[in-house]
């Protein structure tokens, strides 16, 4: 018999909205109601690493190499390398003023040039070399830095300005006293490096939880006990704070030592393709005038070395920095003064108050470990940073533990 067409006063409901029989509803009331897993899940891990950038990924890599299988990496973004680790100039530089950081840079560059046999990604390093330029008193200081690097086994040479201009033609009208050539510097595939660390950690048993914001770090009786994210709670014995620009905020959540950290914004610019650019050029860094460039996509990648303090996050670009770059090119790289910019972006580099890394146990909260303040050296030094962190976490002695310890800020 055909169903009657419902009228305005009818109590007919569409099928999906019909009420269940009363007997079914009574039985249903007696059942236990389970909340959604995403709202209440509790998991456990011996080690929780906050941040899947170079600091966290390299630490996980070394913990895995040292036999650790139980660790969870918490990353706020949907993929790794969204912020500083994926927005840098990808230049591995070994001649730097700080002797401790220089040693870490040398170790990191050596690793990238000689990857282990089980490395899971294609080659990551293009050994193009680097030219560091300087003038006046800065040139003498750069020579001392080069001598220090040479003592540590880095292949460096001091060149005249004329020789540097022969190597990189666009320097023809630039003014500088001399250059330091480092043949073992180069350009890195940052995503392959980061991905390699994470893949080897995952093979050992590490879990990476993406899309998780850390809401709370619970401390009981002076020791870390649990990390609460936007999707679950993770009981932990050790919490490793490797959250990049957010490390200060994570420290506050745990009630840890207030380490002075500042995220500073820096812009990068890429030109349109330029016929006169030689892709085999090294990266060139004018130390005296804070300007660097390297070949990129048929043109040049350039940076005016701007530094503006920002809150953690995806930094907006500032149009005035493009003007700063144009001014520096006109004054210090005049042969490139007519280049057109195709693309630009900004990233954050996080610095401690004294410019050195912060790696070590927190002096206030037991089980809370810092890997922070890598200040623009994170990619180059990541292998060494992760190794130092992992050894200290597992109770081993290690060089530079004192130089990078957060205890210096007590």
* Domains of the chain, CATH where assigned: 38-126+185-260+353-410 (3.50.50.60), 130-183+263-348 (3.30.9.10)
Q: How far is CA 333 from CA 126, 169, 301, in A?
A: 25, 11, 13
pLDDT of residue 399: 87
**How large is the average pLDDT for residues 253-269?**
98
- Burial class of residue 138, CB neighbours in 10 A (0-12, 13-18, 19+): middle
CB atoms within 10 A of CB 332: 21
CA separation, residue 33 to residues 27, 223, 249, 391 (Å): 13, 34, 36, 46
Please tell me the predicted confidence (pLDDT) of residue 97.
96
For residue 57, what are the CA distances in angstroms to 54, 64, 69, 115, 283?
5, 10, 14, 16, 26
What count of other Cβ atoms lies within 10 Å of the Cβ of residue 182?
A: 24
pLDDT of 68 over the 80 cut: yes
pLDDT value of position 323: 97
Which tens digit of pLDDT belongs to each residue from 125-181?
Answer: 999 999 999 999 999 999 999 999 999 999 999 999 999 999 999 999 999 999 999
What is the model's pLDDT at position 17?
37
The confidence score (pLDDT) of residue 40 equals: 56
Using only the alpha carbons of the chain, give its radius of gyration: 27
**Mean of all residue pLDDT scores within the chain:** 92
pTM of the predicted structure, to 2 decimals: 0.89
Confidence of residue 20 (pLDDT cuts 50, 70, 90): very low
Map 22-44 to HEC letters. HHHHHHHHCCCCCCCHHHHEEEE
pLDDT in tens, 183-206: 999 999 999 999 999 999 999 999
Q: What's the CA gap between 273 and 299, in Å, rounded? A: 4
Q: For residue range 355-408, what is the model confidence (pLDDT) as tens digits?
A: 999 999 999 999 999 999 999 999 999 999 999 999 999 999 888 999 999 999
Backbone dihedral region for residue 80 (phi beyond 0: left; psi -120 to 50: alpha; all else: beta)? beta
Amino acid 32: pLDDT: 36
- Annotate 184-216 with DSSP letters as a single string: T-EEE-HHHHHHHHHHHHHHHT-EEE-S--EEE
Q: How many other CB atoms are there within 10 angstroms of residue 189's CB atom?
A: 17
Convert the pLDDT of each residue in 220-237 to its tens digit.
999 999 999 999 999 999
How far apart CA 325 and CA 311 sit, in angstroms, is: 23
pLDDT attached to residue 13: 34
**Cβ neighbours of residue 340 under 8 Å, at least 6 residues apart?**
271, 272
Please check the confidence at residue 5 and state whether its pLDDT lies above 80. no
Say how far apart CA 46 and CA 56 lie, in whole Å.
15
- Residues 371 and 296: their CA atoms lie apart, in Å, by 31
Q: pLDDT tens for residues 42-59?
A: 999 999 999 999 999 999
Q: What b/e string do you get for 218-236 counting C-beta neighbours within 10 Å, with b at 16 or more?
A: ebeeeebebbbbebbbbeb
Residue 16: pLDDT band by 50, 70, 90 thresholds? Answer: very low
| Helix locations, 205-350, DSSP H | 247-254, 319-332
């Amino acid at each position: 018999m055909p169903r009657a067409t419902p009228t305005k006063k009818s109590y007919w409901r569409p099928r999906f909205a019909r009420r269940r029989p009363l007997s079914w509803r009574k039985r249903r009331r007696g059942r236990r109601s389970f909340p959604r897993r995403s709202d209440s899940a509790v998991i456990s891990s011996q080690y929780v690493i906050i941040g899947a950038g170079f600091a966290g990924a390299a630490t996980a890599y070394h913990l895995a190499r040292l036999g650790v299988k139980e660790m969870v990496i918490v990353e706020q973004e949907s993929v790794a390398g969204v912020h500083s680790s994926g927005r840098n100039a990808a230049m591995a530089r070994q001649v730097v003023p700080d002797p401790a950081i220089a040693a870490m840079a040398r170790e990191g560059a050596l690793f990238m040039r000689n990857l282990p046999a089980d490395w899971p990604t294609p080659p990551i390093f293009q050994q193009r070399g680097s030219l560091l330029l300087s003038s006046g008193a800065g040139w003498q200081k750069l020579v001392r830095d080069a001598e220090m690097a040479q003592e540590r086994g880095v292949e460096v040479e001091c060149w005249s300005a004329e020789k540097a201009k022969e190597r990189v033609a666009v320097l023809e009208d630039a003014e500088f006293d001399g250059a330091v050539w480092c043949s073992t510097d180069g350009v890195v595939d940052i995503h392959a490096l980061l991905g390699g660390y994470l893949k080897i950690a995952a093979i050992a048993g590490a879990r990476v939880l993406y899309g998780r914001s850390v809401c709370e770090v619970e401390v009981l009786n002076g020791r870390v006990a649990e990390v609460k994210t936007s999707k679950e709670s993770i009981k932990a014995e050790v919490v490793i704070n490797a959250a990049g620009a957010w490390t200060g905020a994570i420290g506050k959540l745990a009630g840890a030592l207030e380490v002075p950290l500042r995220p500073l914004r820096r812009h990068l610019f890429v030109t349109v393709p330029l016929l006169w650019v030689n892709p085999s050029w090294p990266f060139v860094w004018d130390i005296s005038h804070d300007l660097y460039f390297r070949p990129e996509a048929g043109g040049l990648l350039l940076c005016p070395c701007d530094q503006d303090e920002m809150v953690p996050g995806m930094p907006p670009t500032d149009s005035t920095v493009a003007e700063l770059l144009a001014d520096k090119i006109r004054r210090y790289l005049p042969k490139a003064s007519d280049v057109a910019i195709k693309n630009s972006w900004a990233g954050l580099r996080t610095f401690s108050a004294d410019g050195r890394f912060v790696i070590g146990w927190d002096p206030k909260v037991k089980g809370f470990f810092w890997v922070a303040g890598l200040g623009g050296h994170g990619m180059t030094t990541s292998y060494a940073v992760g190794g130092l962190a992992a050894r200290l976490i597992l109770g081993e002695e290690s060089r530079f533990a004192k130089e990078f310890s957060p205890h210096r800020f007590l």
